[in-house]
Amino acid sequence: MTYRKIAQIAGVSLSTVSKVLSGSSEISKDTAERVRRIAEEYGVVRPKYRHDRPNIRIAILVPEIISIYYSQKVTEIINEMERLDIEPCIYIVGFSNERFHQIVEQIVDEGRINGILSLDHSFYAKIVEIPFLYLCQANKGPRHDTLWADLNEGVYEAIEYLTRLGHQRIGFIGEKNTSSKLEYFKSAVSRLGLEINPKDIFISDKRFEEIGYEGAAYFAKRRERPTALLAAYDEVALGAIHAFKNYGISVPDDISIIGINDIPFSSYADVPLTTIRTYNEELTHLAVKMLLDKIKQPDQHPVQHIAIQCELVVRDTTARVKVKSEKEQ
C-alpha cells in the first residue's frame, strides 16, 4: 500500500497524506483522522506512528559518495538535517539519467518522502507534489528550485587571473563527467580573446588523482605545452602536481595549476593548491532551509534559481610565466 493509494481511498491529495503522516498541523482534524485510520487499516503505519522519529523525511539524490566532493557534501547535508530533526534518505543515482528518473518516480509513487534534494544534474521535467530542489546547476533550466555555485564565472575569474600572470596558452584536464566545466573553460578562454589548442585539452576515462597522473604524463612528453592548466577538480590537480614532479617539471615554476572545489586537503598539500572555492557548507545550509520552508509552507514560496558567487583562492601552484632564455628557445 502506497501513500498514493491511501490518497485515492481517502479522497485527498498525495501531499495531504504526506503531511498527515509526517505530523503536520496544517490539515484539518477530521481529514487527518480519516487518513490515519485508512493508513492504520492497511498496515502502512501503527497507531503511534513516528512519535520517536523525525517528522520530516528528505531524499538526497547523489551521483556517488566515493569522491571527497560528494561525500563531504552529503555529510554536511546530513549533519544539518539531523540538527533540524529531519530524517535523511540517501539514493545513489550513479551519473545515470535513467536511474535518476526511476528513483524520483519511486519516491513520488511511494509518498513517504516530504522533499527531494538533488546533487545530480539530471533534468526532471515533471512537476511533483513535493518540494524538489537542485543543489547544483541542473540541465535545461528545470521547473524546480535550483541553488548552485556559479562556476561559469568562477572559472572565468581563474583564467583571467592566469592571463594577468602572463599566461596565454592555458590547458584543461578533466574526465567524462566534467563536460560542463570544460564548457566553462572554453567560454572563459574565448571571452578573454585567447585561442584554444585542441591538443591542450586532456580528457580521461579514469577518475580522481589518476586523471592528473595521466594528464601530466601527456603534457610532460610534449615539447610545446601550456604554461598553465585548469583541473576539473582538486584531486585531478593534486595528482598532476605529484606526477609533474616525477618528470622534473616544477609547479609553479614550469607550469601553473588551478583546481576546483577547495577540498580540505588542498591547503595542506606539499604545494598548497590555488583553487576555486564553491562554498559547499554555506550552500548546504541554505538548501536545507529553502527546502524545509517549502515543505512547511508549500504555497508561499515561488520557484527560485539562485547562484552563489565562487571565490578564487590563490595559494602556491600559480606564478608568473617563466621567461625562457634564448638557449631554451
pLDDT, tens digit (0-9, with 9 covering 90-100), for 230-279: 999 999 999 999 999 999 999 999 999 999 999 888 998 889 999 999 99
Residue that is last in its domain, among 233, 251, 278: 278
Q: Which residues share a beta bridge with 86?
A: 56
User: How far is it, in rounded angstroms, from Cα 86 to Cα 282?
Assistant: 18
Which CATH number is 274's domain given? 3.40.50.2300
Residue that is last in its domain, among 15, 31, 52: 52
Q: For residue 62, what is its C-alpha cell?
A: 547523489
Tell me if 312 is assigned to some domain. Answer: no
Tell me if 235 is assigned to some domain. Answer: yes
Residue that is last in its domain, among 278, 293, 316: 278
Residue 303 banded pLDDT, cuts 50, 70, 90: confident
Shared-domain flag, residues 156 and 272: yes
pLDDT, tens digit (0-9, with 9 covering 90-100), for 7-58: 778 888 877 877 777 666 678 888 888 888 877 776 665 444 444 445 899 9
Residue 68 banded pLDDT, cuts 50, 70, 90: confident
Shared-domain flag, residues 159 and 42: no
Give the helix, strand, coil percentages of the chain, each rounded to 5. 45, 20, 40
Q: What is the pLDDT of residue 23?
A: 66
User: 93, 65 in Cβ contact below 8 A?
Assistant: no
Q: What is the pLDDT of residue 51?
A: 41
Between 151-164 and 179-191, two packed helices, what is the crossing angle to 10 degrees? 50
Which CATH number is 27's domain given? 1.10.260
Q: What is the pLDDT of residue 204?
A: 93
Residue 326 banded pLDDT, cuts 50, 70, 90: very low
Shared-domain flag, residues 157 and 274: yes
Tell me if 302 is assigned to some domain. Answer: no
**Cis before residue 302, ω within 30 degrees of 0?**
no
Residue 2 banded pLDDT, cuts 50, 70, 90: low
- Average pLDDT over all residues of the chain: 87
Q: What mean pLDDT is predicted for residues 136-158?
A: 84
User: How far is it, in rounded angstroms, from Cα 136 to Cα 152?
Assistant: 12
Residue 89 has pLDDT above 60, yes or no: yes
Tell me if 205 is assigned to some domain. Answer: yes
Tell me if 184 is assigned to some domain. Answer: yes
Tell me if 287 is assigned to some domain. Answer: no
Q: What is the pLDDT of residue 260?
A: 96
Number of structural domains (the chain) is 2
Residue 176 has pLDDT above 70, yes or no: yes
Shared-domain flag, residues 48 and 155: no
Q: What is the pLDDT of residue 42?
A: 66
Q: What is the pLDDT of residue 11?
A: 85
Lowest mean per-residue pLDDT among 53-57, 63-67, 104-108, 110-114: 53-57
Helix spans in the chain (H): 3-10, 14-21, 29-41, 68-83, 97-110, 151-164, 179-191, 209-220, 234-246, 280-296
Q: What is the pLDDT of residue 126?
A: 80
Q: What is the pLDDT of residue 8?
A: 78
Percent of the chain with pLDDT over 90: 58
Tell me if 117 is assigned to some domain. Answer: no
Lowest mean per-residue pLDDT among 136-145, 215-224, 231-240, 309-318: 136-145
Shared-domain flag, residues 41 and 156: no
Tell me if 9 is assigned to some domain. Answer: yes
43 against 193, higher pLDDT: 193
Please give the residue range of the domain that contains residue 25. 1-52
Q: What mean pLDDT is predicted for residues 91-115?
A: 92
